[in-house]
């Protein structure tokens, strides 16, 4: 199979493009397929040197609004086009800066453009689309009836997933990390007062928040700096190494937007021996995480307390071992066939 991937992230800030394009491309290459990787900017700027006949299928990420003229040309030349994206742009809360683009149609320079409408128009032009969430895939079936779900799978050939962990003795360290799209998850899931209560009762327990959204940090105003730590956003491959220092990983979710996220956080926690405590919404229901059945203070508090006691007693190691065994089965090399099956179906069913 000859596959062209066009990813949308800027090279200096690769995030979702790793999961939706670069990691699948690496898995396909190791499986013996011919893969070319470009940016969507290279395609729109014409700085590429290929013909549509060079490939069996093209996978383009997110920036469909910039490819409205190119997609039909590729299809007319016999190249099937599959969109890939992992965000519920149509439900993006106003607390996320990207909502200016997707929901209000204003780009960072102040220019007006209906990105969401044009994205949907581009999706109609594609042969198919792939997302990592069954709920998100279902949302767009009315626009394009050929929707598929392929979860985000890590590249387990990276050494950073397998390095030894270095956890300090006598302390229990909780962690969370994410982009600037998670404020609602923390502000409205009832986790914050539960964390405050837990840290007050357990002076040997701390929480580290990693990421670029200072608004989440301000939700914990008043907590001791000995128990609450903040870390800036870090490069993609540094995160697995960083996680190896922690015992418990938190992943709160809230609302319709969060129901359409992927399972990335739980996978990362499980791969690094971190015990996940998460909201029991769709993204995490197929994982072995400790689920918080309702976003209520007492449920969060009791579930996190149970996790702390598991770590204190050493019982968490049984969970960590089982979780790791599950996570090691979720590498891209074990699931690359899901992509091939879709590519073959789209190629021969156009």
Instruction: Render pLDDT for 104-131 as a digit per residue (tens, 0 to 9).
Output: 888 777 778 999 999 999 999 999 999 9
Task: Please give the structure tokens belonging to residue 102.
Answer: 């997707």
pTM of the complete model: 0.95
DSSP conformation class of 55: -
Express each pLDDT in 145-197 by its tens digit: 999 999 999 999 999 999 998 888 889 999 999 988 999 999 999 999 999 99
Strand 57-61 versus strand 81-84 pairing type: parallel
Q: What is the DSSP string of 259-293?
A: TT--SHHHHHHHHTTPEEEEE-SGGGTTS-SEEES
What's the count of helices (H) and strands (E) in the chain, helices before strands? 16, 12
Does the structure show a pLDDT above 70 at 265? Answer: yes
Express each pLDDT in 278-330 by its tens digit: 999 999 999 999 999 999 999 999 999 999 999 999 999 999 999 999 999 99
Express each pLDDT in 224-259 by its tens digit: 888 999 999 888 899 999 999 999 999 999 999 999
Q: What is the mean pLDDT of the chain?
A: 94
pLDDT (0 to 100) of residue 334: 98
pLDDT (0 to 100) of residue 214: 87
Express each pLDDT in 58-89 by its tens digit: 999 999 999 999 999 999 999 999 999 999 99
Region of poorest pLDDT, from 45-49, 54-58, 78-82:
45-49
Does the structure show a pLDDT above 80 at 47? Answer: no
Does the structure show a pLDDT above 70 at 350? Answer: no
| Angle between helical axes of 297-313 and 316-327 (0-180°, round to 10) | 100
CA distance 228 to 250: 14
φ, ψ for residue 3, nearest 5 deg: -125, 135
Beta bridge pairs of residue 51:
none
Residue 138: which H helix or E strand, with range?
A: helix 134-139
With a CB cutoff of 8 Å and minimum separation 6, the contacts of 327 are: 267, 270, 271
CA distance 123 to 131: 12
**Contact, 300 vs 294, CB < 8 A?**
no
Domains of the chain: residue spans and CATH? 2-154+332-348 (3.40.50.2000), 159-327 (3.40.50.2000)
User: Using CB atoms within 10 A of its CB, is residue 16 exposed (0-12), middle (13-18) or buried (19+)?
Assistant: buried
pLDDT (0 to 100) of residue 233: 83
CA 89 to the chain's CA centroid: 14
């Amino acid at each position: 199979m000859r596959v062209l991937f066009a990813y949308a992230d800027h090279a200096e800030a690769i995030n979702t493009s790793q999961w939706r394009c670069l990691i699948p491309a690496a898995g396909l290459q190791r499986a013996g397929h011919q893969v070319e990787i470009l940016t969507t900017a290279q395609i729109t700027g014409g700085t590429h040197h290929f013909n549509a006949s060079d490939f069996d299928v093209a996978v383009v990420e997110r920036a469909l609004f910039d490819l409205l003229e190119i997609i039909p040309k590729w299809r007319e030349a016999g190249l099937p086009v599959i969109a890939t994206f992992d965000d519920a742009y149509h439900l993006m809360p106003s607390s996320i800066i990207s909502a200016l683009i997707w929901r209000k149609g204003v780009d960072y320079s102040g220019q007006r453009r209906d990105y969401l409408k044009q994205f949907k128009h581009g999706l109609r032009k594609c042969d198919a689309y792939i997302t990592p969430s069954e709920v998100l895939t279902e949302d767009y079936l009315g626009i394009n009836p050929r929707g598929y779900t392929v979860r985000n799978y890590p590249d387990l050939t990276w050494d950073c997933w397998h390095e030894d962990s270095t956890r300090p003795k006598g302390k229990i360290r909780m962690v969370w990390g994410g982009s600037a799209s998670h404020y609602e998850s923390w502000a409205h899931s009832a986790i914050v007062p539960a964390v405050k209560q837990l840290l007050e009762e357990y002076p040997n327990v701390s929480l580290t928040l990693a990421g670029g959204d200072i608004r989440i940090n301000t939700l914990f105003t008043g907590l001791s700096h000995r128990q609450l730590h903040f870390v800036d956003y870090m490069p993609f491959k540094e995160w697995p190494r960083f996680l190896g220092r922690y015992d418990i990983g938190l992943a709160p979710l809230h609302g319709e937007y969060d129901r359409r996220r992927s399972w990335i956080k739980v996978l990362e926690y499980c791969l690094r021996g971190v015990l996940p405590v998460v909201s029991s919404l769709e993204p995490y229901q197929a994982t072995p995480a400790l689920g918080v059945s309702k976003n209520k203070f007492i449920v969060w508090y009791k579930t996190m307390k149970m996790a702390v006691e598991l770590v204190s007693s050493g019982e968490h190691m049984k969970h960590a071992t089982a979780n790791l065994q599950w996570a090691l089965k979720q590498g891209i090399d074990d699931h690359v066939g899901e992509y091939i099956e879709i590519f073959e179906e789209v190629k021969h069913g156009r």
